[in-house]
A and B are shown apart, each in its own frame.
Chain A
Amino acid sequence: MDEFQEILQDFLVESFELVEKLDEDLIELESNPEDLELLNGIFRVAHTIKGASSFLNFDVLTHLTHHMEDVLNKARHGELVITPDIMDVILESIDLMKALLETIRDTGADAGIDVSECVVRLDKISGGDGNVETPVAVAEPQEEVQEEAAEETVEDEDELDYENMSPEEIEAEIERLLTQRQEEDRKKREAKIAAGEKVPSLDSDSTSEEPKEEKKEPEAAKPAPTPAPTQPAPAKAKSQAKKEEPKAAAPTKRSSASNVEQTIRVDVKRLDHLMNLIGELVLAKNRLIKINDDVEERYEGEEFLEELNQVVSIVSIVTTDLQIAVMKTRMLPIGKVFNKFPRMIRDLSRELNKKIELEISGEDTELDKSIVEEIGDPLVHIIRNSCDHGIEEPEVRLAAGKPETGTIKLKAYNEGNHIIIQVDDDGKGLDAEALKAKALEKGLISEKEADGMSEKEAFLLIMRPGFSTAAKVTNVSGRGVGMDVVKTNIEKVNGIIEVDSVKGKGSSMKLKIPLTLAIIQALLVGVQEENYAIPLASVLETVRISKDEIYTVEGRSVMRLREDVLSLVHIGDIFEVERILDTSEHAYVVVLGLGTSKLGLIVDTLVGQEEIVIKSLGDYLKGVDGIAGATIRGDGGVTLIVDVVALMDIARGVKSTVMMEAEAGAAKTNEKNSPSDYTVMIVDDSSTDRMIMRKALEPMGITLVEASDGQEALHILKSGDHNFDAMLIDIEMPRMDGYSLASEIKKYNRYKNLPLIAVTSRSSKSDRMRGVESGMVEYITKPYSADYLSSVVQRNIKFKSEFMS
């Protein structure tokens, strides 16, 4: 049983592959009906499937393919010209074949699908046209063929309930089938001979290969009118099958002997495992490089360094090559996806009454298997869309001075680490204004958004869910779902979509997709102590700006980037990074691009570019907004990978605070449960003055910390040991005076809201002004009363009334 299953699996895999190819070949055949080689190829496929399915006892499938084969055989021998109508029937039978194969895959049997109708039609073609071409066969064979078809239809129904039959019945049935089969074979032989005479070149081929069989054949077949003897018939049938194969194979051998590829089927799981191992290796390589750098620094000039360097570079080169090699094993030509489109276009153009031609190029371009699986659906939607909305009716096209037949170009090519799949049509193109109007009407965008939209942004509206410009919903499209699917699927594989169009001339859709999913190039950025990895595919550029270049418009930060206004968001606002030090005058902006939408991400530092291996965060943490995964760095640390798509969504919601980011710091002040939870720093160079202040504040029960000058105060503040609620600052101090201290402190975002209270003997108005400028909130002049000081402090630290004694 297991063995059977194994064979069955192989059969299914092979058959699906063959059928896929059939589709493609048949479409090509339609435009090029004289191509004998192509026909032979198609015939061979049908034959192979027939042979295998009869071996595996899938009678319905055998039956269907058998009749298909008849038609194809006729065509092959030039007795039949493939017209579109005939092609329709053939394609229909291929669809049935696919359905049967699927049923077999799912249920293990080929029951449940009625093929009789299709078979009858196939027979009509093979019988009818054959008649015209070969009058020798007269009317008799035609009749018989039809009879046979009818008979077999009945037989099909019988086949369905073999399981319910008693052994005797089955015996009888077998007997009946056997005679029938013999009869069939006899007829086929007749046809064969007739055909053989017509195409001697093919026959001579087979004669040379199997001369014995060939000799026997005519012998048995010559007395055609008399029924063939029962005994040798099965053997003949076999010999015939054998004979057909070399005959069919011969032309390919001639034409494509050089193309014969040696392949081996490998379980995808094994490849995945291999890929995982490579991932580990890449991590180890990164680590090795880092260690090498460290060692280099420490033992500069030592001899062994050179050797170490060599080894490290060899390891890293080999690792990279290995990675590429393994990646290649997972690569499939994109042709695998493209194959189904000629058929689709053909069906669509018939359905829509349009004339459409499909030009495919670059089908050899290779992509990771997992991505190939993801882009099939999006492409279907895009192409349907082009057919339905893009290409106009033939009359409209002629009126517009275009050729009657519309062209859709489907091409794939490599661009760096990406593959570009482009779908161009020469249809009516997109109308940006109409799109905006429609989106407004559907409430997808606001009027303001519409006004600010560039043409390219307007084109992207078609990707929004629920958007459709189609006046009516057709069978093909117009429900406003398809393009949304495109967007989600492409984004799932970290791809980018670009839409371009010239009204009246056509439109073009570009999908930019990374070659592989597991290992990517990333830009590492730093914010405070943390690092994040941004997929390089989404990074357009990085710029260094000074903080004055950031403007605030309607509560959002923006900057001018050449001609455009770029909205900005701080990575720290998105990832809730606590910002303590923010002294630098400059910031780096990473310009992220996703389609036409752009966003400037402000970061503190740019760390560099690195090849990273994407690891999932696991079930516990999956779905964290803005995080796509994690990677392990050379130093063994974990770095999170930014999910650019999600990040752009979040950024829309973040009321940007690049300028007023202190809130977070202030909110951090801990819950106060007792007076001693309040901490106040006293900064004064005179110990007497400090003592006076301490005496005035001690009764409140708050914690007091002293510093003797600005430098020391700053040091204490930075150490972070205390969480200060206020500072009392003397103005005149050595090393650093009160004003400079205040402005230093205010540079730290975290302390922007820390109340600074000046305590000084300077009382002139200009001194007070200076105090305010440097960020002081209160100005107490010496001498003061203890009560006054404590009340000012209480007010500024928001001392809870229940603690007052």
Chain B
Amino acid sequence: MSDKLKEVINQQAQKQQADTLDQSDDIVQLVGFMIGDEEYAVPILAIQEIIKPFEWTRVPQVPNYVLGVFNLRGSVIPLIDLRVKFGLQQKKQTDETRFIVLKKNDEVAGFVIDRLTMALRIKKDNIGPAPDTVNGDETMIEGVGKQEDRIITILKVDKLLERDF
């Protein structure tokens, strides 16, 4: 019995090792999502959770892309509409709408996205810098990932979580 157990543990350990190899520096794991017609992604480690939309409370005197605050298991968390933030028209929420809750250090915020696409693994080599046309340090774009026939814009989590008003 214990031999078997050891074997299983060994196997698991090996598998984990294999995993860590895969996750080694040159691969970035991302979660992709759609806003309007474009695909964006954020690093998977920055995501605290992804939830179905529910009610929120409007907060006055904030830019229109800040929808308000919502209750995430007892914490009051701001909710930001990425469509509006990216200059698109607000649209009604559908079955595919999700809130992505991002966390970096102590900053937490929820972001409304149109639709999730998939979890991605992109080699670092396949990630190019943000296009020069985007203005300098202020850019929210970390880089542009290429995979097969798609181009995915990778967003900077700390910029997203930064208050800019």
Whether B109 is near chain A, meaning CB under 8 Å from some CB there, is yes
* Interface residue stretch chosen among A259-267, A631-639, A749-757: A631-639
B61→A621 contact, CB < 8 A: no
A625→B61 contact, CB < 8 A: yes
What are the residues of chain B within 8 A of A283 when measuring CB–CB? 74
Flag A563-605 by CB within 8 Å of B: 1 or 0 each: 0000000000011110000000000000000000000000000
B56→A638 contact, CB < 8 A: yes
B71→A574 contact, CB < 8 A: no
A637→B59 contact, CB < 8 A: no
Nearest CB of B to A787, in Å: 35
B70→A618 contact, CB < 8 A: no
Contact check: which of B55, B59, B70, B74 meets A640 at CB < 8 Å? Answer: B59
B76→A280 contact, CB < 8 A: no
Nearest CB of A to B48, in Å: 14
Whether A710 is near chain B, meaning CB under 8 Å from some CB there, is no
A616→B57 contact, CB < 8 A: no
Nearest CB of A to B64, in Å: 11
Whether B78 is near chain A, meaning CB under 8 Å from some CB there, is yes
Flag A265-299 by CB within 8 Å of B: 1 or 0 each: 00000000000000010010000000000000000
B60→A632 contact, CB < 8 A: no
Whether A221 is near chain B, meaning CB under 8 Å from some CB there, is no
Which of A577, A620, A624 has the most CB atoms of chain B within a 10 A radius of its CB? A620
What are the residues of chain A within 8 A of B106 when measuring CB–CB? 619
Query: Contacts A619-B107, A638-B69 given: A574-B60 contact, CB under 8 Å?
Result: yes
Whether A615 is near chain B, meaning CB under 8 Å from some CB there, is yes
Whether B118 is near chain A, meaning CB under 8 Å from some CB there, is no
Which size class do B's interface residues fall under? 20 to 34
Whether B77 is near chain A, meaning CB under 8 Å from some CB there, is yes
Query: Contacts A575-B61, A624-B61, A638-B70 given: A617-B56 contact, CB under 8 Å?
Result: no
B161→A620 contact, CB < 8 A: yes
What are the residues of chain A within 8 A of B62 when measuring CB–CB? 621, 624
Nearest CB of B to A226, in Å: 72
Name the CB-closest residue of A to B58.
A530
Whether B4 is near chain A, meaning CB under 8 Å from some CB there, is no
Whether A626 is near chain B, meaning CB under 8 Å from some CB there, is yes
Nearest CB of B to A9, in Å: 28
Whether B28 is near chain A, meaning CB under 8 Å from some CB there, is no
Whether A630 is near chain B, meaning CB under 8 Å from some CB there, is yes
A630→B69 contact, CB < 8 A: yes
Flag B23-62 by CB within 8 Å of A: 1 or 0 each: 0000000000000000000000000000000011111111
Nearest CB of A to B39, in Å: 25
Whether B141 is near chain A, meaning CB under 8 Å from some CB there, is no
Q: How far is the CA of A617 from the CA of B57 in the complex (A)?
A: 12
Name the CB-closest residue of B to A625.
B61
Q: How far is the CA of A617 from the CA of B107 in the complex (A)?
A: 11
Contact check: which of A616, A624, A636 meets B59 at CB < 8 Å? Answer: A624
Nearest CB of B to A742, in Å: 31
What are the residues of chain B within 8 A of A617 when measuring CB–CB? 59, 69, 76, 78
Nearest CB of A to B9, in Å: 37
Query: Contacts A618-B76, A619-B107, A620-B161 given: A627-B60 contact, CB under 8 Å?
Result: yes
B60→A637 contact, CB < 8 A: no
B76→A637 contact, CB < 8 A: no
What are the residues of chain A within 8 A of B70 when measuring CB–CB? 638
Query: Contacts A616-B76, A632-B74, A637-B55 given: A621-B69 contact, CB under 8 Å?
Result: yes
What are the residues of chain B within 8 A of A638 when measuring CB–CB? 56-57, 68-71, 76
New A-B pairs, 16, CB < 8 Å, besides A617-B78, A620-B78, A627-B60: A280-B74, A530-B58, A576-B61, A577-B60, A615-B76, A617-B59, A618-B107, A619-B107, A619-B163, A620-B163, A621-B59, A624-B60, A624-B62, A630-B76, A632-B74, A638-B68
22 A-B pairs in the complex with CB atoms less than 8 angstroms apart: A280-B74, A530-B58, A576-B61, A616-B76, A617-B69, A618-B77, A618-B107, A618-B108, A618-B109, A619-B163, A620-B78, A620-B163, A624-B61, A626-B61, A627-B59, A627-B60, A630-B57, A630-B69, A632-B74, A636-B71, A638-B70, A639-B57
